[in-house]
Structure 1
Amino acid sequence: MCHWPAVVVATPAHSGVGDALSYRSERALAPGTLVRVPLGAREVLGIVWRNDDAPPEGLAEGQARDVAQVLDALPPLDAAWRDLVGFAARYYQRALGEVALAALPPPLRELDPSQLARRLKRPARAAPAAVDPDSARALTPEQAAALEALSAADTAPALLFGATGSGKTEVYLQGTARTLAADPSAQALILVPEINLTPQLEARFRARFGDEAVVCLHSGMTPAQRLAAWIAAHTGRARIVLGTRLAVFASLPGLRLVVVDEEHDPSYKSQDGARYSARDLAIYRGKLQNARVLLGSATPSLESWHASEQGRYRRLAMAARIGGGSLPRLRLVDMNHQPKGALIAPPLLAAMGERIARGEQCLVLINRRGYAPVLACHACGWKSGCPHCSAYRVFHKLDRTLRCHHCGFTQRVPRACPDCGNLDIEPVGRGTEQVEEQLAGLLADVKRPDGGPVRVARMDADTTKAKGSLEAQLAALHAGEVDVLVGTQMIAKGHDFRRITLVAAVQPDAALFAADHRAPERLFALLMQAGGRAGRDAAHSGAAELWVQTWNPEHPLFAHLRTHDFAAFASGELAEREAAGMPPFAHQALLRADARTQEAAQAFLNAAAAATQDLPHREAVTLFPAVPLTIQRVANVERAQLLVESPSRAALQRFLAAWQPVLLQCRGLPEARGLIRFAVDVDPLSL
């Protein structure tokens, strides 16, 4: 007897291939079973999604292709996981197989059944997650109240609105301990926004629950490590999975608790492939598997804050710092009154010297890596543009290179201007390398308590890309071997730096007047989070300060920052967004097009917009004209986008679903010749 499994394989949405392909099998295959199937001339990994009683209409039995291999050493992916993937594919307008296969560890795509069986020799029983009683801290009244609320019968998502240093991590740890103790098969998922936040959190979870109970899942792991961690989660051996946004798709049959730390962070929204929000999918997954969801942040996203105002999320507040420490005091430096060209204002420099002389540490935030954003010739106007992108190459002084941060194109710094031969080409603007270099010179006369010279270090994407470098730099900082740490936003959130008492933001003004409606929200969160690194040790909290160098000290954002009043800031921003009809009071999607020419990209978008007149719910959506992206060319590919907006999320979703086949037709139009790809970005974070 023949069986007809419908198998999903990795095909992008713009390929036009259906969600599932029909194959023939001599044996019945349970939904969720991993198989290898022929696809064209290749053999690829697939997932059995359902079993049909007969071949699809129009497919003769002799034309059907057989399932090649069955990877039945692994238990099938359960219905809840398949429902999550199915929802993500529908909501974010991607092919089902594209989302499903991207959620699996890459080595699975290459393994045959015998190879997989060798990887599964370890017994598939749950590891014990015994809590170390000596590592559990006594809870503050606010922590205890939050933990009790998390354990209450109400299963609505909870927003843990906790000030920096208020002990949110301890709530995560003890909430996880209660969840695992209540059910021997329960599992917990802990999400963090970036890889650099995993080491310290992983160390705390391993110390509390043991090494065997905890696994990590993030893109910084080797393929073999990701496969081993995924299998441990899928088979139930791992009780706790800690990872970045890709971990939201981990197979966790016993999931009972989901924690999303720093839930406001834009890193939870993928910007490649299926552009999903891990935070939003975590909430949906909690509903699917009857798991509690806890979102934690000192500066919640305005979407989550609005949901808690409406009562859709429970808000749990923790306003006090552990040990009774105070939040850092804001010191605004009006750069209009400082010496011309000053990198660090003299008052700030003096304050840093005082801290270092007392044995305390300082953190300097400048959200731009490299030595300078651009190299320029003032004789002829030449600038270090990238030949492949509509962006400038960044000057990196340490290796004397000009490097494009968009396409990666790198060249040695020219000895003279390529256009006019002028030898006097200069860096324009400042990056982390330049701030590090100049601070070392400005603080040369300051002495540490032991009489030694000041030690300045830098932490950004360039200094942490080598394996183990991030952990080594964090260890040096915690050990007191660094006096001043210069870095990008990666140092501004989540870290527990005990000796830092002064945080300085050098040039944050660019976000104050940006066209992006989310820019003020991001800047406020960044400054609040950065300031939260200061004074985390209660013994030093009274001296903790956040210094901000600004040309616009009267901006209302700083008034809320001075009082640490996120609620007032959020209220004002939400009122502005409601008046302007912006999210969360409206719902958006972007249709993006990449093409060989800007004309072809916009022609495709305009044709796609013109073909929507008869689509369902067309009257409920607004289509804006096609425009180039801010950086319109990357790696010689021209990029354009078209914004779609609606006051109704349901209407927008139905419209987008009906639009997909139209988009496939439009890509074949003569005027769109040169189109490379298109993609729909639902709930975009930047326009």
Structure 2
Amino acid sequence: MPEHTIIRVAVPSPLRRQFDYLLPRSVGPAAPGQRVQVAFGQQQLVGIITELPQSSDLPVEKLKPVLALIDSQPLFDTALLQLCLWAANYYQHPVGEVLHAALPALLRAGEQAALATETRWQITVQGLGLPEGAPKGAKKQANLLTFLRAGARTPADIEQAGFSRAILKALGDKQLVEAIEIAETQTFNGPLSELALTLNQEQSAALKAIKPTGFSTSLLDGVTGSGKTEVYLQAIAQQLEAGRQALVLVPEIGLTPQTVARFQRRFNVPVGILHSGVADGGRNSAWLRARAGLDRIIIGTRSAVFTPLKHPGIIIVDEEHDNSYKQQEGFRYSARDLAVYRAHQLHIPLLMGSATPSLESLSNTRSGRYQHLKLSKQAASEHSTRIIPVDIRAQQLQEGLASQSLAAIKGAVAKGEQALVFINRRGFAPVIMCHFCGWQAKCPRCDARMTLHRQPYHLHCHHCDHQRRVPQQCPDCKAPELQHIGQGTERTEEFLSKLLPHTPILRIDRDSTRSHKQLNSMLDQIATGEPCVLVGTQMLAKGHHFPKVSTVVILEADGGLFSADFRATEKMAQLIIQVAGRAGREALQGQVLLQSHHTDHPYLQLLLNQGYGALADCLLRERQVVELPPFSFMVILRAESKRPENALQFLQQARAKAEGLQAPSPQFRYLGPLPASMEKRQDRFRFLLQLQASSRAQLQQFLPQWLAQIEQMALSRRVRWNLDVDPQETH
């Protein structure tokens, strides 16, 4: 028998291949999913064993031995390893980087995969051999032995039962009891800690349609406030009662505390939290506890789709339409789409919910791939919220607000209610310009204007984070008058503070909520129900429950009507409906004022008069005619360089290679190379090449061959480039 086992290892490297090493049999048995420490060039890296090949392409004597076998058992179970390998293949990303992306930071660094433990005291074999009431003459010691016969206890349990440390030590000295370290666990008296709400007819029908076992994908298409979360909770309860786990994905960190709080109120089980805002130790513990089956519910953002589950029961994707589920850098995966694959792989149900489903998901319901469950009524409200178009053409606006909008805000506050002003632009003003010569403050690193911020006072590029002081005079003509043009959240906040001096104005955007503590403090203030006006960006649009908000004003949300991005109208409609859904969620009559210069546009008219579903149907028909996703499959190759000719030439060569493999045809189309919508960003010039195919299988067969040729091109090492499969951003 050979002294070494050949192992194939994936290391975190941009190279699209795996590497063979030798593992001495004396080190221990090898299995796919274990971590090893290996020498890789001049580095020492943590890699993952993916298979045990019978032979290697290299002679055995040229294979390096591993430096250490980190895990005695596979850290990745078979299903999770298979998920990562499939994702690496589908998204054409190096498998080592994919596997490392699935791990918490501490495990990526090689930390031991050990669960947190707690000390418990139990009776030894010698103690169990004593008769009841022993040891004689030591009544308290005998009582403690009797107490421990029921099972191991923590020091806190023992102290609470009235036994001192001295008694425990005395028994320990006699070797009648011993301390053991065990993984932290909790005991429960049933999974529910509060009663479930009574479902209405639509909710009840939706819950019954969700099969508790076996693979199925259901789209819960419910208007805002229709009680989608209650359906989630009761579907999870069925899984918990059967001893299984639930994985819940949410699009934003900001939604996690609210979601976790609601789940913890309902369920008497441990809830694990996984997102980038959790400290490394906490994420590590939650990942391992889920793997061990200790955390019965796991709530997290995009990367939580890779959480190992010992007893998988159901996966839920809330706000499934949200772009946050698509990773836009590095490993460019879609957590929503991976959730579908994972549910199929684990033979469990997947439930996706949204008030504004993506066109991809709606198309899948039309084709029968997904079950379409509809909730058309608000669960806790007797009133329907009205969206009122406000035509601002030729109107005299006050800091971007029409008189009708201002009257509605004042009216809500006067009635003791809350109002929300949505403007999806941070800062004070998006443009600072000279009134005399037309000079504008532009970013030196990007094709973008710099935004004026007042708190603190500076100019800021929101694309590359470049910051600089605000000039006192025009740099070109030296004129002293610089105008602030356009609206941002800071400017709107300042104006409303002067208009309503006795009403709290709460600005919620990325600048005002840099920590979770700041965000939670504002959300707590809103939850008191006291009159206030909220001013914010998309952070306010996603899933928050504001029962006292009766009035919503939406500013400048109609840009999607004229964008070059074919998804822009869909995203605009989703944003309007999601923001509008913050109003009138309970007993209050809600009203939404949509300010626009284009209130008579056919898309807006369709949305306002017939709803999101009617607009989505119209957009799907249009996309089918012009063969855009979801009726075709798209890939974008992006390149950037400080020398624009390098990026452009790289993509030209890449297109030539592609056409050599697959000639252009109606079934396989090419577009570009083209400049990105923002050609210069962070001192780099950006270009893209778009591929569209009628067949997903054909595209997947083509991509590995094409990438192999691209990697051989000299320019591939002189430009930054990446491949984006199923892109959400196409400009």
- Residue 671 of structure 2 aligns with which residue? 624
Q: Which of 225, 229, 237 is the matching residue for 1:169?
A: 229
Q: Does 1:344 align with 2:344?
A: no
Quickly say closer, same or farther: Cα 1:340–1:298, change in 2 above 3 A.
Answer: closer
C-alpha displacement of 1:75 = 4.7
Aligned residues with identical type, % of pairs: 39
The total of aligned residue pairs comes to: 662
Residue of structure 2 aligned with 1:9, choices 11, 20, 34: 11
Q: Distance in 2 between matches of 1:340 and 1:482?
A: 24
2:32, 2:74 within 8 Å by CA — same for their partners in 1? no
Return the letter of the residue paired with 2:255: L
Instruction: Verify: 1:226 aligned to 2:228, yes or no.
Output: no
- 2:658 match: secondary structure: coil
Matched, 1:283 2:354: no
In the other structure, the counterpart of 1:480 is: 529
Deviations 1:366-395 (A, max 9, x none): 011111112111322221211111212211
Q: Residues 470-549 of structure 1: matches in 2 within 5 Å?
A: 470-481=519-530, 483-537=532-586, 539-540=587-588, 543-549=589-595
Equivalence for 1:592? 638
Query: Structure 2 CA distance, aligned partners of 1:73 and 1:327?
Result: 59
Number of the residue aligned with 1:448 = none
The residue number in structure 2 matching 1:581 is: 627
- 1:7-59 CA-partner distances (Å, limit 9, x unpaired): 111112xx3x51344343333211111222221222211111111223x1233
* Structure 1: 5+ residue stretches without partners: 445-452
Match of 1:450 in 2: none
**What does 1:548-563 align with in structure 2 at a 5 Å threshold?**
548-563=594-609
Give 5+ residue unaligned stretches, structure 2. Answer: 119-180
Question: 2:125 matched to which residue of 1?
Answer: none
Q: Is the 8 A contact 2:8 2:18 kept in 1?
A: no
In structure 2, distance between residues paired with 1:295 and 1:269:
15
Query: SS where residue 8 of structure 2 aligns?
Result: strand
CA–CA distance in 2 between the matches of 1:148 and 1:123?
Answer: 40
Cα distance change, pair 404–21 in 1 and its aligned pair in 2 (3 A)? farther
My pick for the range that moved more, 288-297 or 388-397, is: 388-397
Letter in 1 for 2:515: A
8 Å CA contact 1:192, 1:198 repeated in 2: yes
CA contact (8 A) 1:625 1:643 kept: yes
Structure 2 counterparts to residues 195-344 of structure 1, below 5 A: 195-210=253-268, 213-339=270-396, 343-344=400-401
Counterpart AA for 1:42: Q
Q: CA deviation at 1:65?
A: 1.6
**4+ runs deviating over 4 angstroms:** 116-122, 124-129, 616-620
Q: Aligned-pair distance for 1:340?
A: 5.4
Counterpart amino acid of 1:561? L
Deviation per CA, 1:89-120: give whole Å up to 9, x if none. Answer: 1111101111111111111233454xx54856
Distance 1:23 1:434, change over 3 A: farther
Q: What is the distance in 1 between the residues matched to 2:72 and 2:289?
A: 14
Q: Is the 8 A contact 2:117 2:184 kept in 1?
A: no
Is residue 20–residue 63 contact of structure 2 (8 Å, CA) maintained in 1? Answer: no
Determine the structure 1 residue equivalent to 2:169. Answer: none
Deviation at 1:431, TM superposition (A): 0.8
1:459 is aligned to 508
| Highest RCO, 1 vs 2 (Cα 8 Å, sep ≥ 6) | 1
Residues in 2 aligned to 1:280 and 1:286: alpha-carbon distance in whole angstroms: 10
2:216 matched to which residue of 1? 156
- Paired with 2:70 and 2:663, the residues of 1 have a C-alpha distance of 43
- The answer on 1:194 being equivalent to 2:237 is no
Greater Cα offset, 293-302 or 319-328: 319-328
- The two structures have a TM-score, normalised by structure 1, of 0.93
Please list, as runs of the form range in 1=range in 2, the aligned pairs for 1:17-32 lying within 5 A after superposition: 17-26=16-25, 27-32=28-33
1:572 to 599, 618, 642: 618
Q: 1:679 aligns with which of 722, 726, 731?
A: 722
Cα separation, partners in 2 of 1:561 and 1:204, compared to 1, 3 Å: same
Residue 57 of structure 1 aligns to which amino acid in structure 2?
D
CA change 1:40–1:128 in 2 (3 A) is farther
Q: Report 1:118-133 matches (<5 A).
A: 123-124=182-183, 127=186, 130-133=190-193
**Which residue in the other structure is 1:44 paired with?**
45
Cα distance in 2 between the residues matched to 1:626 and 1:272: 20
Give the Cα separation in 1 of the matches to 2:685 and 2:281: 36
Per-residue Cα deviation, 1:580-600 (whole angstroms, up to 9, x for no partner): 111111110000112121111
Paired position in structure 1 for 2:149: none
1:657 and 2:710 equivalent?
A: no
CA–CA distance in structure 2, aligned partners of residues 586 and 126 of structure 1: 49
Structure 1 residues 145-154 or 498-507, which shifts more?
A: 145-154
**What amino acid is the match of 2:197?**
R
Q: Which whole-Å deviations, capped at 9, do the CAs of 1:307-335 have from their partners, x for residues lacking one?
A: 10111100111111113523311111110
Asked if structure 2 preserves the Cα contact closer than 8 Å seen for 1:377 and 1:417, the reply is yes
Three-state SS of the structure 1 residue aligned to 2:446 is coil
Q: Using the alignment, how far apart are the partners of 1:616 and 1:628 within structure 2? A: 23
* SS of corresponding position for 1:157: strand
Q: Which amino acid aligns with 2:406?
A: L
Distance 1:568 1:674, change over 3 A: same
Moved more, 256-265 or 39-48: 39-48
**TM-score, normalization by structure 2:** 0.87
CA distance in structure 2 between the partners assigned to 1:226 and 1:153 by the alignment:
29
Matches of 2:464 and 2:640 in 1, distance apart?
A: 15
Question: Given residue 547 of structure 1, which amino acid in structure 2 is its aligned partner?
Answer: L
Deviation at 1:152, TM superposition (A): 6.0
User: In the alignment, what sits opposite 2:75?
Assistant: 76
Post-superposition offset of 1:556: 2.1
Taking the aligned partners of 1:525 and 1:660, their CA distance within structure 2 comes to 35
